[in-house]
Structure 1
Amino acid sequence: MTAKRDAKREDLKGRLIEAAQAHIQASGLAGLRARDITADAGCALGALYTAFADLDELILHVNSITLARLGAALEQEAIGAAEPRAKLKALAKAYLGFARDNRMAWKALFEHRMAPGVAVPEWHLAEHAVLIQHLVEPLAQLLPARDTPDLLARARTLFSAVHGIVAISLEDRFIGLAPTDLESELLGFVDTMVSGLETERE
């Protein structure tokens, strides 16, 4: 009996995640309502709160799927690049491509905020940290004398810079890059940064 109940609960969670994912992909977090999600999932409004603590927890699970897809895209793009410059440029290109192709889901990763006083669960923070780890290996090749904390700090700086360029440009901010220039300028930025790191190493 317990196994049957658990299976039903997992099925409900899956339908709710799928429905929330579709809403976020279509229109982002703005206007996301529990009532719409449960209607699309074919369940009562209260059923959401038997599967998840609240709407925020459901969004975290959708974002978890997006992070896994983003991580896979980064890994796939960089798999054939052994040299650190090529790998970092491949990662930047993959990040831009994913953001372009999955705009709303990608934005939800950075726009979602927990309720005041509620911390982001450790499991979800760990998933975000995986994105930084993709940068640590090529940075370690460029800066072999640096220890892990320094490499992590540099990786966060690089990620923030690339994310900022992508986000400002895709949001059509007046200081952002034109779509025709964005990829080449982004890769040029990474090139310049790597050249600086090579000089620093020497």
Structure 2
Amino acid sequence: MAGKREEKRDDLRQRLLDATEARIVAQGLTGLRAREIAQDAGCALGAIYTVFADLDDLILHVGARTLQRLGQALSSAVAEKSDPEGVLQALAAAYLDFALTHRKAWEALFDHNPPEIPDWLREQQGVLIAEIIRPLQALLPDADEKLIRARARTMFAAVHGVIDLSLEGRFASVGEADLRRELQALVGTLVRGAQA
């Protein structure tokens, strides 16, 4: 009996995740409503709260799916590369490609601002930094782990910031036509700076 109940709960969980993800892909976070998600998932509104703590929790779990796909895209981009700068260039290009291809999901990952980020998600967010660490270790063989992690976060923030500002068309944005070239120049500058 308990197995059947867990099966139903897992099915409901997947339907809610799928419905929420579909709405985010279609419209972003704007106007995301629990009632509409429940309707799309074919369940009662209250059923959401038997599986997720609240709408924020549901959105965080959808974000975890996006992070997993992003991590796979980044890993695939560098699978055949060993040159540290080549790896970092490939990561920046793959990150841009992911942002362009999965724009609403990517935006939701960073625009959703829940009251608290749970530890399990913080751990998964490590995918954004993990691939940067290896080439930085090769570029900075004498640096300690704390410095490498700080530089990896800074490099991620720089690349993300350029992409985010540019795709939003905000202050100091780079036009989409020039974005790939400018990212390549940025990463090259960061690599040279790290080596200096």
TM-score per shorter chain, which class? Answer: over 0.9
Give the Cα–Cα distance (whole angstroms) in 2 for the partners of residues 123 and 196 of structure 1.
Answer: 34
Identity of aligned residues (%): 51
Give the Cα–Cα distance (whole angstroms) in 2 for the partners of residues 131 and 192 of structure 1.
Answer: 20
5+ long unaligned stretches in structure 2? none
State TM-score, norm by structure 1: 0.95
State TM-score, norm by structure 2: 0.98
1:174 Cα offset (Å): 4.2
1:166 aligns with 2:159: no
Give the Cα–Cα distance (whole angstroms) in 2 for the partners of residues 80 and 185 of structure 1.
Answer: 24
Provide the residue aligned with 1:24 in structure 2. 24
1:123-138 equivalences under 5 Å are: 123-138=120-135
1:175 aligns with 2:172: yes
5+ long unaligned stretches in structure 1? none
SS at 2:126's partner residue?
Answer: helix
Among residues 173, 182, 185, which one is paired with 1:188 in the alignment? 185
1:114 Cα offset (Å): 1.4
Give the Cα–Cα distance (whole angstroms) in 1 for the partners of residues 16 and 142 of structure 2.
Answer: 48
RMSD: 0.8
Provide the residue aligned with 1:89 in structure 2. 89
Give the Cα–Cα distance (whole angstroms) in 2 for the partners of residues 130 and 181 of structure 1.
Answer: 27
Provide the residue aligned with 2:36 in structure 1. 36
The 4+ residue runs of structure 1 with deviation greater than 4 A are none
1:49-88 equivalences under 5 Å are: 49-88=49-88
Give the Cα–Cα distance (whole angstroms) in 2 for the partners of residues 162 and 174 of structure 1.
Answer: 16
Q: Deviations over 1:111-169 (max 9, x none)?
A: 11113xxx211000000012111111000000011111110000000000000000000
1:175 Cα offset (Å): 1.9
SS at 1:82's partner residue?
Answer: coil
Give aligned pairs, total.
196
Give the Cα–Cα distance (whole angstroms) in 2 for the partners of residues 85 and 97 of structure 1.
Answer: 18
Give the Cα–Cα distance (whole angstroms) in 1 for the partners of residues 158 and 60 of structure 2.
Answer: 24
Which letter maps to 1:76? S
Give the Cα–Cα distance (whole angstroms) in 2 for the partners of residues 136 and 11 of structure 1.
Answer: 37
Provide the residue aligned with 2:109 in structure 1. 109
